[in-house]
C-alpha cells in the first residue's frame, strides 16, 4: 500500500511539474495554444489559449489597441459544473499602470463585452470581461422572446451569476493572474459597467463590497425585475385601441415638450436641463373636436375630418391617455403606488421600443421562464397587484441589487459614480434618484462615497438618437480615479463628443445640483457651474 501511495504522489508531482512548467512559460512568453491550469488552491480555472497582440493589432468597436498586450482566453468553474468564460488583456510591462479594470455586460449577456475593454487597455490597465456565467449561443442568441426556453433562467447558479456574482467570480482568477504575470500586487481595482453592467456594479457594492476600490455604474438596471415589468406596463398602455404612437408622433410630442421647457435653464440648446421642473402638459396636444387621428395611416397622421392634409398635429384621446400612463409608470393596483418610476418629459422620442419590443424581449420571457416556469403563460393576464409578489420572490431575490445598505462598501473605502440619461429609452431616469434617496435614508450623507450624475438629453449608456447635439462621452472614469487615488471628490464631470460632430461640451453635476449658465460661450462646459434648483424656477 505504501508503494502505491508513493507511486501516486510521484505521478501527481510529475503532472504538477508539467502544469507549473506551462504556467511559468506563459508568464514569460504569453503565447500558449494548450490549456493551462492556473495554479491556485482557491479556485479552479484554466487558460484556454493566449497570444501576443502588437500595437494597433486589434480593432474592437472601432477602437485599435494603442499598446501591445497579451490576450488571454480563460474560464473559471463555479456552481455545479458551470463556468464563466472570460478574457484578460495584459499590456506589456512597460505600459502597465499597475491597476485592474473589470467591465460588465449588457442585456441578457452571455458574451464578453470586448469592445468595452479597449478603452481601459489603452490607458494602461490590465482589463478583464466575462460572459456572465452562461452562453448567449445556448440562450436564443442572448435575447428573449415569448414562448422561448432560456436555460440560464432555469439554472439557479447561472441566474445568480448573471447579475450578482459573475464579475466577482472571474475577478478572483483575473487578479491572481495579473499579480503573477507582473510579479507585483495590483495598486487599485476598478469596475465599469452600464445597463445590466450598471446592475452588476450595484451587486458588487452590495454583495462583494471589498472587491473593488471604485465602481462606475451607468444607467443601472439594478431593480431588474421591476424594470422588466415596466416594459409590460408601457406595452399595455400603447396596445389599447388607437393608442400606438409611431416615431413621427413621438418626435412631435418631444418637440412640443422641448419648446415648452428648453430655456428654463437660461440656454436655448434643444435640451431640457431638469425635466422634473418642466410644466409641459400633454393635454395641450389632445386633438380638438373635428380632428381625427388615423391610426392605420403609415405616418399615423392626423387630419381634420373635412380635409386631406397630413402631418402630426395633435394626439388622439387614446394616445394622450397612453402617454399619461407611460409618464406615470406601472402602479400596484392594491396601493396605487408605483412599482417602478415612469418616463420623463422630453424622453418621448425614445419610446418606440417601449411600445412592444422590450416587453417581448424581456418582460414576457422573464415571467415565463423565471417567475412562473411556464412558456405558455399569458402575460396579458398579469395582475398588477396580486402577482407583483410572485415577481419579487421568484425573480427579484435572484436578479435585483437594490439594498439601501451600502455601508460595508463605504467602510471598505469604496467609491461609486452612477450616471443616468434623462432620455434613456429603456430605464426610467428617476429610478437612480429614488434609489439614492433610499440609500441616504439608511446611510445618511452619501457624498463621501456615492455620486449620481444626471445627463440632460442623455440616452442609454451614451447618446440618445433624438438628441445628437448632446455630448455623449462622460469622463466618469477619470473623476473616479482621482477620487479613489487622491481623495479628490468629484464636483462635476465633463462630457464631450456629441454625435453631431460638434465640439460642444457640457458640465454634469452631482444630483441634485444642475449646470447653471454663467455667461459666455454656452457651448463650453467652462461657462457653467453646479448650482441648486429652487422651486420658483430660479438657480443659485
Q: How confident is the model at residue 290 (pLDDT cuts 50, 70, 90)?
A: confident
Q: Which residues of 334-358 are buried (b: 16+ CB within 10 A; e: fewer)?
A: eeeebbbbbbbbbbbbbbbbbbeeb
Q: How confident is the model at residue 461 (pLDDT cuts 50, 70, 90)?
A: very high
pLDDT, mean of residues 464-472: 95
Contact 459/350 with Cβ under 8 angstroms? yes
Q: Using one digit for the tens of pLDDT, what is the confidence trace for 102-134?
A: 999 999 999 999 999 999 999 999 999 999 999
On the question of pLDDT at 308 being above 50, the answer is no
pLDDT of residue 21: 65
Between CA 444 and CA 135 the distance in angstroms is 40
Mean pLDDT score of the chain:
91
Contact 23/8 with Cβ under 8 angstroms? no
Q: At a CB cut-off of 8 Å and minimum separation 6, what does 463 contact?
A: 470, 472, 498, 499
How does DSSP assign 367-404, residue by residue?
IIIIIS--TT--GGG--TTTTHHHHIIIIIHHH----S
On the question of pLDDT at 219 being above 50, the answer is yes
pLDDT of residue 6: 44
pLDDT of residue 316: 95
pLDDT, mean of residues 2-22: 45
Q: Choose between 289 and 57: higher pLDDT.
A: 57
On the question of pLDDT at 5 being above 80, the answer is no
499 CB-contact burial (10 Å; exposed 0-12 / middle 13-18 / buried 19+): middle
Q: Using one digit for the tens of pLDDT, what is the confidence trace for 41-50?
A: 899 999 999 9
Pairing of strands 126-130, 69-78: unpaired
Q: Using one digit for the tens of pLDDT, what is the confidence trace for 147-182?
A: 999 999 999 999 999 999 999 999 999 999 999 999
pLDDT of residue 294: 62
Q: Using one digit for the tens of pLDDT, what is the confidence trace for 482-531?
A: 999 999 999 999 999 999 999 999 999 999 999 999 999 999 999 999 99
Between CA 222 and CA 212 the distance in angstroms is 18
Q: Any alpha helices (H) in 239-298, and if so which ranges?
A: 247-261
Q: Choose between 31 and 458: higher pLDDT.
A: 458
Pairing of strands 473-474, 302-304: unpaired
On the question of pLDDT at 8 being above 60, the answer is no
State the Cα angle at 216 between 215 and 221, rounded to 5°: 110
pLDDT, mean of residues 258-265: 93
Q: Using one digit for the tens of pLDDT, what is the confidence trace for 192-215?
A: 999 999 999 999 999 999 999 999
Consecutive H or E run containing 159: helix 156-160
pLDDT of residue 33: 72
Q: Among 269, 321, 176, which Cα is nearest to 468's?
A: 269
Between CA 180 and CA 201 the distance in angstroms is 26
pLDDT of residue 312: 86
On the question of pLDDT at 535 being above 50, the answer is no
Q: Using one digit for the tens of pLDDT, what is the confidence trace for 363-421?
A: 999 999 999 999 999 999 999 999 999 999 999 999 999 999 999 999 999 999 999 99
pLDDT of residue 305: 34
Indicate the SS3 state at residue 102: strand
Domain range list for the chain? 11-141+151-186, 228-398
Q: Choose between 391 and 295: higher pLDDT.
A: 391
> Model-level pTM?
0.92
pLDDT of residue 289: 85
Amino acid at each position: 500500500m505504501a508503494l502505491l501511495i508513493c507511486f501516486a504522489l510521484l505521478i501527481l508531482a510529475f503532472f504538477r511539474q508539467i502544469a507549473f512548467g506551462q504556467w511559468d512559460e506563459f508568464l514569460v512568453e504569453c503565447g500558449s495554444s494548450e490549456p493551462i491550469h492556473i495554479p491556485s488552491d482557491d479556485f479552479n480555472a484554466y487558460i484556454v489559449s493566449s497570444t501576443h497582440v502588437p500595437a494597433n493589432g486589434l480593432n474592437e468597436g472601432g477602437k485599435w489597441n494603442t499598446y501591445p498586450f497579451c490576450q488571454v482566453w480563460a474560464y473559471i468553474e463555479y456552481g455545479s459544473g458551470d463556468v464563466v468564460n472570460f478574457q484578460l488583456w495584459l499590456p506589456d510591462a512597460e505600459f502597465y499602470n499597475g491597476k485592474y479594470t473589470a467591465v460588465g455586460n449588457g442585456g441578457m449577456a452571455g458574451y464578453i463585452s470586448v469592445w468595452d475593454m479597449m478603452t481601459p487597455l489603452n490607458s494602461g490597465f490590465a482589463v478583464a470581461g466575462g460572459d456572465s456565467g452562461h452562453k448567449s449561443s445556448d440562450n436564443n442568441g442572448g435575447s428573449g422572446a415569448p414562448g422561448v426556453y432560456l436555460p440560464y433562467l432555469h439554472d439557479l447558479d447561472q441566474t445568480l451569476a448573471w447579475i450578482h456574482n459573475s464579475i466577482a467570480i472571474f475577478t478572483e482568477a483575473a487578479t491572481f493572474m495579473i499579480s503573477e504575470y507582473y510579479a507585483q500586487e495590483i495598486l487599485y481595482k476598478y469596475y465599469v459597467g452600464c445597463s445590466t453592467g450598471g446592475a452588476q456594479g450595484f451587486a458588487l457594492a452590495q454583495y462583494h463590497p471589498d472587491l473593488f476600490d471604485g465602481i462606475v455604474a451607468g444607467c443601472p438596471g439594478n431593480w431588474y425585475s421591476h424594470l422588466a415589468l415596466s416594459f409590460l406596463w408601457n406595452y399595455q398602455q400603447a396596445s389599447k385601441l388607437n393608442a400606438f404612437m409611431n416615431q413621427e408622433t413621438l418626435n412631435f410630442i418631444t418637440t412640443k415638450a422641448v419648446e415648452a421647457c428648453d430655456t428654463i435653464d437660461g440656454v436655448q440648446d434643444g435640451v431640457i436641463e431638469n425635466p422634473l421642473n418642466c410644466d409641459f402638459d400633454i393635454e395641450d396636444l389632445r386633438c380638438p373636436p373635428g380632428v381625427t387621428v388615423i391610426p392605420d395611416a403609415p405616418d399615423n397622421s392626423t387630419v381634420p375630418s373635412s380635409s386631406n392634409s397630413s402631418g402630426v398635429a395633435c394626439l388622439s384621446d387614446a394616445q394622450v391617455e397612453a402617454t399619461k400612463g407611460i409618464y406615470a409608470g406601472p402602479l400596484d393596483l392594491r396601493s396605487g403606488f408605483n412599482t417602478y418610476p415612469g418616463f420623463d418629459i422630453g424622453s418621448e422620442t425614445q419610446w418606440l421600443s417601449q411600445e412592444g419590443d422590450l416587453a417581448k424581449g424581456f418582460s414576457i420571457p422573464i415571467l415565463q421562464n423565471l417567475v412562473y416556469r411556464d412558456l405558455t403563460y399569458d402575460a396579458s393576464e398579469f395582475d398588477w397587484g396580486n402577482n407583483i409578489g410572485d415577481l419579487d420572490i421568484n425573480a427579484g431575490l435572484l436578479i435585483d441589487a437594490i439594498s439601501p445598505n451600502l455601508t460595508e462598501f463605504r467602510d471598505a473605502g469604496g467609491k461609486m459614480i452612477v450616471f443616468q440619461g434623462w432620455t434613456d429609452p429603456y430605464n426610467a431616469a428617476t429610478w437612480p434618484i429614488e434609489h439614492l434617496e433610499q440609500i441616504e435614508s439608511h446611510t445618511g450623507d452619501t457624498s463621501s462615497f456615492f455620486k449620481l450624475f444626471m445627463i440632460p438629453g442623455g440616452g442609454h449608456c451614451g447618446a440618445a438618437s433624438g438628441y445628437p447635439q448632446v455630448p455623449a462621452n462622460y469622463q466618469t472614469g477619470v473623476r473616479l480615479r482621482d477620487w479613489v487615488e487622491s481623495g479628490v471628490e468629484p464636483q462635476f464631470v465633463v462630457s464631450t463628443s456629441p454625435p453631431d460632430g460638434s465640439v460642444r461640451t457640457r458640465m454634469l453635476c452631482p444630483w441634485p445640483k444642475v449646470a447653471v449658465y454663467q455667461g459666455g460661450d454656452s457651448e463650453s462646459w467652462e461657462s457653467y457651474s453646479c448650482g441648486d434648483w429652487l422651486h420658483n424656477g430660479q438657480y443659485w
